[in-house]
């Protein structure tokens, strides 16, 4: 199934079911008012939503309308919790060098994760206001999952069963704040503005064989100001999503609507490019001896779209956003 959220004057928006080819949608509020309600009541709502999805794809819904991703909010405009991992160890190792930080203990065996803001997720085409170009404005292409309720100390099987939906994320970063905030030991605050989401959240079956071993086996194609930036592949994720969920739930339960991010998608091969500017900068420093790429400026745009290995567009739609000055 595929879901999106349209504005209706409420904090959570209104739920629509989206067709498999992302061309049509139908209001689903007769089943559930919003997507948060769906994941909170997954067992009760899934069958009715699946039936509506099947009818929509068969062209048998009279109330269907053209789907316009530009009108969408984030699938979950707000959530109970946003927990972002750093599950691509290649990226983490490069960032240690970028920020000149000491190696994180047990980095290869225990997931790294921070808790970010979850009250103001941005839609796929929203302009993104930032306070200053001097803050080191950066995009970060990621994959993520939305969970149902997950018990404390969940097993890997329980964690896997808690995955309801898959999403594509741009986890915005302000790099100038990162080193200081990491040094405090208290985690990110100013370095992490609100994250953005592709318009559509999907059930894992929509990926077919590309959902494998708890990982997105998809490329994340990224362009910056219309120029190719990278298309790293999600299969090189060192920790699976069930492992990330189990880590997050080790000492507390997770309420339905928790969003878990993979961290920046990163591949060992330089040919794959990068999913964030900071990674490209440190690669330039390593390979060329100097940093050439600057961070984003007001008016810059970034586009992100998942792609299957055979070149087909992924199921999430496109994130395409412009950075503007906060006023």
Q: Residue 14: its pLDDT value, please?
A: 98
Q: Residue 173: its pLDDT value, please?
A: 97
Q: What would the pLDDT profile of 138-190 be if each residue is shown by its tens digit? A: 999 999 999 999 999 999 999 999 999 999 999 999 999 988 888 888 889 99
Residue pair 72/249 in contact (Cβ under 8 Å)? The answer is: no
Q: Residue 98: its pLDDT value, please?
A: 64
Q: What would the pLDDT profile of 11-21 be if each residue is shown by its tens digit? A: 999 999 999 99
CATH number, span 81-325: 3.90.850.10
DSSP 71: G
Q: Residue 136: its pLDDT value, please?
A: 98
Q: Residue 313: its pLDDT value, please?
A: 98
Rounded mean pLDDT, 243-264: 98
- The mean-pLDDT minimum among 263-267, 284-288, 307-311 falls in 284-288
Q: DSSP letters along 287-312, please?
A: HHSS-----B-TT-EEEEEEE-TTS-
Sign of the torsion formed by the C-alpha atoms of 289, 275, 268 and 240: positive
Taking alpha carbons only, the member of 11, 10, 13, 9 closest to residue 199 is 13
Q: How far apart are CA 271 and CA 253, in angstroms?
A: 40
Q: What would the pLDDT profile of 61-112 be if each residue is shown by its tens digit? A: 999 999 999 999 999 999 999 999 999 998 878 877 766 777 878 888 999 9
Rounded mean pLDDT, 305-314: 98
DSSP β-ladder status, 113-116 and 173-174: unpaired
User: In this model, does residue 291 exceed pLDDT 70?
Assistant: yes
Rounded mean pLDDT, 271-294: 94
DSSP β-ladder status, 227-230 and 163-170: unpaired
User: In this model, does residue 46 exceed pLDDT 90?
Assistant: yes
Tell me what percent of the residues of the chain surpass a pLDDT of 70.
Answer: 99
3-state SS assignment for residue 133: helix
Rounded mean pLDDT, 307-316: 98
User: In this model, does residue 300 exceed pLDDT 90?
Assistant: yes
Q: Residue 91: its pLDDT value, please?
A: 84
Tell me what percent of the residues of the chain surpass a pLDDT of 90.
Answer: 89
Q: Residue 93: its pLDDT value, please?
A: 83
The length of the chain, given as a count of residues: 327
Q: Residue 102: its pLDDT value, please?
A: 75
Helix extents (H) in the chain = 35-40, 42-57, 89-99, 156-161, 178-184, 241-248, 277-288
Sequence spans of domains, the chain? 2-67, 81-325
Q: Residue 225: its pLDDT value, please?
A: 98
Average pLDDT, the chain: 96
Distances (CA, A) of 58 to 61, 106, 203: 8, 50, 19
């Amino acid at each position: 199934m595929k879901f999106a959220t349209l504005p209706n004057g409420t904090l959570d928006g209104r739920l629509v079911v989206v067709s498999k080819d992302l061309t049509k949608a139908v209001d689903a509020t007769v089943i559930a008012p919003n997507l948060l309600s769906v994941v909170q009541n997954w067992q009760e709502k899934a069958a009715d939503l699946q039936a509506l999805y099947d009818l929509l794809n068969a062209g048998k819904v009279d109330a269907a309308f053209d789907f316009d991703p530009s009108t969408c909010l984030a699938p979950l405009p707000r959530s109970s919790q946003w927990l972002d991992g750093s599950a691509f160890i290649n990226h983490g190792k490069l960032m240690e060098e970028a920020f000149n930080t000491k190696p994180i203990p047990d980095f290869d065996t225990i997931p790294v994760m921070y808790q970010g803001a979850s009250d103001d997720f941005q839609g796929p085409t929203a302009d993104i206001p930032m306070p200053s170009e001097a803050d080191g404005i950066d995009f970060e292409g990621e994959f993520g999952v939305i969970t149902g309720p997950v018990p404390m100390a969940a097993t890997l099987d329980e964690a896997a069963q808690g995955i309801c939906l898959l999403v594509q994320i741009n986890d915005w970063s302000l790099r100038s704040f990162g080193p200081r905030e990491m040094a405090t030991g208290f985690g990110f605050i100013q370095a992490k503005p609100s994250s953005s989401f592709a318009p559509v959240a999907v059930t894992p079956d929509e990926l077919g064989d590309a959902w494998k071993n708890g990982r997105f086996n998809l490329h994340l194609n990224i362009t910056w100001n219309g120029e190719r930036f990278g298309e790293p592949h999600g299969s090189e994720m060192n920790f699976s999503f069930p492992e990330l969920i189990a880590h997050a739930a080790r000492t507390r339960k997770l309420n339905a609507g928790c969003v878990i991010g993979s961290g920046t998608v990163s591949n060992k091969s330089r040919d794959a490019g990068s999913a964030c500017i900071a990674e490209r900068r440190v690669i330039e420093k390593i390979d060329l001896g100097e940093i050439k790429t600057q961070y984003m400026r007001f008016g810059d745009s970034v586009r992100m779209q998942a792609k299957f290995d055979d070149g087909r567009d992924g199921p999430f739609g496109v994130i395409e956003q412009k950075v503007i000055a906060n006023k």
